[in-house]
Amino acid sequence: MNWTDAQSYCRAHYTDLATVDDMEDQNRLITSGSVDVLSWIGLEKGDSMKWHWSLAGRRFYREGETEFRNWDTGTPQNGNCAFMSTAGLWNNASCDDQHHFICYDGKQDTNLTYVLVQESKTWIDAQSYCRQHHTDLVSVRNQTENTEIDQKISLRGLPVWIGLFLDSWI
């Protein structure tokens, strides 16, 4: 059965194909016993060319928080990954460029924890590092968080990767 047929079947008999928003969802699918062969999930690459956050779990965001942007004048232009300048403004660049980066660490406690990593990495290497050692690259959900992160990086004087990427890249 192809993906479109699987989607139609699930929509007719259930709600839709399963979605996987985070590792918890993935583990739940695996341990449920319902995935013992290759199976379709409800992920499809669209032509939307939208910016998305690396940390994709819907439980992390309230209404409208995935849409907050603080682009510098004249941006975004070329490049599929976003970084924050020391002025707190965002720009985009090639994901192969190297910058320091900010991780979000939700494992510490209920407070948001931002971890500045002062190593130069590509965006994908920074994302992997954050996922291995913390939670993910930082998502900036509102102006208050943007200001908090800007204060953390402004003393260093270097731009940092944030978790925003253009969906055409993946």
Q: Tens of pLDDT along the chain (170 residues)?
A: 777 777 777 878 777 777 666 667 666 766 766 555 556 666 554 556 788 888 876 677 888 888 899 999 998 888 899 999 988 999 999 999 999 999 998 765 556 688 999 999 999 999 999 999 988 999 999 999 999 999 988 877 789 999 999 876 44
3-state SS assignment for residue 126: helix
| Global pTM value | 0.69
Q: Cα(6)–Cα(170) distance, rounded to whole angstroms?
A: 23
Domain-wise residue ranges, the chain: 1-44, 51-169
In the numeric block, the tokens 């800007």 are attached to 150
Task: Yes or no: say if 96 and 168 are a contact pair by the CB < 8 Å rule.
Answer: no
d(CA 39, CA 56): 21
Per residue in 81-113, pLDDT (tens digit) is: 999 998 899 999 999 999 999 999 876 555 668
